[in-house]
Amino acid sequence: MVPLAAILVASCASGSPPPDWQLGAAASLAAFQKHYLEGNTNLAEVEFSLAKAEIRKTGRADLLARTELLRCAARTASLEFDDCPAFEKLRADAGAEEVAYADFLAGKRERAASDEPLSRLVGSGVAMRAGKVTPTQIAAAIDAASAQGWHRPLLAWLEVEVRRSEAAGDRAAAQRYRRRISLILEGK
pTM: 0.90
Structure confidence at residue 29 (pLDDT): 97
CA 125 – CA 97 distance, rounded (Å): 19
Percent of the chain clearing pLDDT 70 (strictly above): 92
- pLDDT for 14: 56
pLDDT over threshold 60, residue 6: no
Q: What is the pLDDT of residues 124-160, one digit of tens each?
A: 999 999 999 999 999 999 999 999 999 999 999 999 9
Q: Residue 67 — pLDDT band, cuts 50, 70, 90?
A: very high
Strand ranges for 45-89 from DSSP E = none
Computed from CA positions of residues 79, 71, 49, 153, in that sequence, does the dihedral angle turn out positive or negative? Answer: positive
Say how many domains are in the chain.
Answer: 1
Measured torsion, CA atoms of residues 141, 146, 151, 157, in degrees rounded to the nearest 10:
30
Domain that holds residue 111: 4-186
Q: b/e per residue, 112-137, with b = 16+ CB within 10 A?
A: ebeeebbbbbbbbbbbbeeeebeeeb
Q: What average pLDDT is seen over the chain?
A: 92
